[in-house]
Structure 1
């Protein structure tokens, strides 16, 4: 008899071992073919399966971005019965951050397209007129004019120029119903330097005046008029990447500054650009945003953009007494590039589109196509609809029961949420809350 460690093996033992291996392989092959058949037949009826969330704050999806290595290691991986033999398969689909939230598809009507496509532009609505400012046409070309959309006759017109010294993108902007205050921002294409110069437009005369400069330049700061003062906070610092926490205010009235210098206010708890800033119920509310952004490539003569790490967040803050920030319930998803993507309707803040955390596998930016509602009575977030496509830096308005949005950078397609084309499209939908 052969013994272990002697180096001798009988032919019978080899045959027995080989038979076991072949038998095991046949069992695994049959199981694989059965699972493939079941998966194939179910996917023909629907491209992916939505697993309904156990609560409003937690979602799980069967997604085109499924990653099995993450599935097996994820702490909240779901265990499900894989087949009739009782073998448990660990199936985890990505968190809702990386997939569309289930929402009704609103009926959108396409309206006359804007005269030019815009990315990172700005917009202000005053009654039945929608003023759309600046923005990138392409990464190498920026606009320096204003287009006006008339909601009554559904047409664009009345184009006029901005001051040459005024920023072309990443502006902060607010209005008192006649005067539009434009604060700091990026001057020029690619990833050029910011400016600290500020301007005010009289919408009745179309004349511009200059305001005192901000203490330092900022990219895309949260900006709003509140209690007679123009508030500017957050944004990115001069390198375009580092978040700023600074908060300044300036007393203004009828398009004029009542002070020569900006006053330092309580810093915002979390800095960064691309966030909504809203005044509602006499409260100053700041929504979403991100930390980090593209920077100019070192030594580039044209300030060519260089990617840097960035993190989007869902934080919501409120300043109700001017002395302290209070944190409110977070958005359903981290969201940025929403500085002009909001409106106030029936005591709710509506936010359309935006961009969330990058995909963990492809590292591509993920655009959002949800219409979010923040009810100011209940302080609860919900998703009330879906846009015709995912898009960031939308410019939103609300008129006579219609929710409008225009411009921005839209997705590659229904199955690919990464950004592609800069558009000037204008859409509207009836919105009843």
Structure 2
């Protein structure tokens, strides 16, 4: 470094600073710089992670505050959202892809009788609905035996139950998009493939919980005629060998919480209703094609049981809210197994969030666990069980591992060994 110019002659020259003083000054400057950096770092957001304990002893990472703004601007997958919406921890399962169904289906229905899975109706896409039945044979893993449904029968959002030969088909939506429901009911003789009428419901319903219990066909909940408002009504009809023993439906104790898309099961001589939602898409006012428009939906995890005293009791809730599971369950080894569905909409993107977990409800201990994961998240799965294998087909799957919102309607068939 150049020295400063010499002072004026009248001034007395100063002694140059010692080496110790210069060294001390350099150390002091470096110290001030270091302290400044530390102060700036302490005022910046801290990157951190935390875990929240979930039911079934699972945990999900929370997003760091430093990355919050970035994550809100992109498609948010399961690893970026909180415990209510994220995928739950689950064991890995080995899946095998089988022969694909003849057509893709959304909001279809399925009933298993022995080695046959009868698959009904459903959307091919939002503007097209199926009006036939396909049959899957678990013995040789093939599809075949297609036959038509009655022309007056609903095409989606059906209620359905079986006694082992006859399949009772109740109400539902008639037509594509968000068209109106019908009160018409039918029964199928699976041995002769003949259809017969049943007395109509007092009013139409979308996707009501439906099951045979103690000689009566029970129908409850679902959505009302506007497709959005939850129904609480509960009716029953005495039936035997595919025939109604009464001309009219009987009013029963209302269900505690209404709405569509829930599993309805008879287990250990108890009637159970699991999951579901309040609200659904509605038809756009004045639309000539009944175009679907979004309305607020609330997905829940409640489980209700009707006991001997004909009073509803609430059982332990599902590990997460789950809907679109009316045909996504099987009863195996005193356990209910439920595959896929939908949970609450994402709080940031507001998109529907699909479910990829497989839940087990132990009917002896009344405990829920997560026993596996599907090959992808998917709703309205049609589930069957045969010779130790858990099968599912059809539905609407996710956009990919990082995006749980719905995309493609599929007709694929998968299976995995079920160990309970």
Q: Normalising TM by the smaller chain, what interval?
A: 0.7 to 0.9
1:396 aligns with 2:383: yes
Root-mean-square deviation (Å): 2.7
- The alpha-carbon deviation at position 68 of structure 1 amounts to 3.8
- The alpha-carbon deviation at position 316 of structure 1 amounts to 0.1
The whole-number CA distance in structure 2 between the counterparts of 1:329 and 1:50 is: 27
Shift of the 251–366 alpha-carbon distance from structure 1 to 2, 3 Å rule, reads: same
Give the 3-state SS of the residue equivalent to 2:358 in structure 1: strand
Q: 1:6-54, CA deviations, whole angstroms, 9 ceiling, x for partnerless residues? A: xxxxxxxxxxxxxxx9998754666799978xx9xxxxxxxxx884727
| Structure 1 residue ranges without an equivalent (≥5) | 1-20, 40-48, 72-91
The whole-number CA distance in structure 1 between the counterparts of 2:406 and 2:171 is: 26
1:330 to 317, 325, 343: 317
- Which residue in the other structure is 1:268 paired with? 255
Shift of the 413–28 alpha-carbon distance from structure 1 to 2, 3 Å rule, reads: farther
- The alpha-carbon deviation at position 96 of structure 1 amounts to 1.9
Shift of the 55–115 alpha-carbon distance from structure 1 to 2, 3 Å rule, reads: closer
2:223–2:260: 8 Å Cα contact kept in structure 1?
yes
- The alpha-carbon deviation at position 267 of structure 1 amounts to 0.2
2:177–2:292: 8 Å Cα contact kept in structure 1?
yes
1:53 aligns with 2:53: yes
The whole-number CA distance in structure 1 between the counterparts of 2:303 and 2:137 is: 32
Tell me the number of residue pairs that the alignment of Structure 1 and Structure 2 aligns.
383
The whole-number CA distance in structure 2 between the counterparts of 1:322 and 1:168 is: 36
1:372 aligns with 2:359: yes
Shift of the 116–29 alpha-carbon distance from structure 1 to 2, 3 Å rule, reads: farther
Give the 3-state SS of the residue equivalent to 2:84 in structure 1: helix
- Which residue in the other structure is 2:243 paired with? 256
Shift of the 32–424 alpha-carbon distance from structure 1 to 2, 3 Å rule, reads: farther
The whole-number CA distance in structure 1 between the counterparts of 2:89 and 2:113 is: 33
- Which residue in the other structure is 1:18 paired with? none
Shift of the 27–309 alpha-carbon distance from structure 1 to 2, 3 Å rule, reads: same
Shift of the 246–63 alpha-carbon distance from structure 1 to 2, 3 Å rule, reads: same
- The alpha-carbon deviation at position 105 of structure 1 amounts to 1.4
| Structure 2 residue ranges without an equivalent (≥5) | 1-31, 72-78
1:154 aligns with 2:127: no
Q: 1:85-113, CA deviations, whole angstroms, 9 ceiling, x for partnerless residues? A: xxxxxxx9743221110101110100000
- Which residue in the other structure is 1:11 paired with? none
- Which residue in the other structure is 1:86 paired with? none
- The alpha-carbon deviation at position 67 of structure 1 amounts to 7.5
Q: 1:213-244, CA deviations, whole angstroms, 9 ceiling, x for partnerless residues? A: 00000000000000000000000000000000
Shift of the 181–25 alpha-carbon distance from structure 1 to 2, 3 Å rule, reads: farther
1:61–1:99: 8 Å Cα contact kept in structure 2?
no
- Which residue in the other structure is 1:234 paired with? 221
Shift of the 258–26 alpha-carbon distance from structure 1 to 2, 3 Å rule, reads: same
2:296 to 305, 309, 318: 309
- Which residue in the other structure is 1:9 paired with? none
Q: 1:64-83, CA deviations, whole angstroms, 9 ceiling, x for partnerless residues? A: 999748x9xxxxxxxxxxxx
Give the 3-state SS of the residue equivalent to 2:260 in structure 1: coil
2:308 to 321, 342, 347: 321
2:406 to 412, 415, 419: 419
Shift of the 58–162 alpha-carbon distance from structure 1 to 2, 3 Å rule, reads: same
1:428 aligns with 2:415: yes
- Which residue in the other structure is 1:285 paired with? 272
1:59–1:95: 8 Å Cα contact kept in structure 2?
no
Q: Point out 4+ residue stretches in structure 1 off by more than 4 angstroms.
A: 21-36, 63-67
- The alpha-carbon deviation at position 432 of structure 1 amounts to 1.2
Bigger-Rg structure (1/2): 2
The whole-number CA distance in structure 1 between the counterparts of 2:54 and 2:291 is: 46
Q: Give 1:11-410 correspondences, 5 Å limit.
A: 26-27=37-38, 51=51, 53=53, 56=56, 59-62=59-62, 68=68, 94-321=81-308, 323-410=310-397
Q: 1:126-173, CA deviations, whole angstroms, 9 ceiling, x for partnerless residues? A: 000000000000000000000000000100000000000000000000
Q: 1:246-290, CA deviations, whole angstroms, 9 ceiling, x for partnerless residues? A: 000000000000000000000000000000000010000000000
2:126–2:176: 8 Å Cα contact kept in structure 1?
yes
Shift of the 66–197 alpha-carbon distance from structure 1 to 2, 3 Å rule, reads: farther
- The alpha-carbon deviation at position 61 of structure 1 amounts to 1.8
Structure 1 window deviating more from structure 2 (302-311 vs 57-66): it is 57-66
- Which residue in the other structure is 2:21 paired with? none
1:63–1:93: 8 Å Cα contact kept in structure 2?
yes
Shift of the 167–28 alpha-carbon distance from structure 1 to 2, 3 Å rule, reads: farther
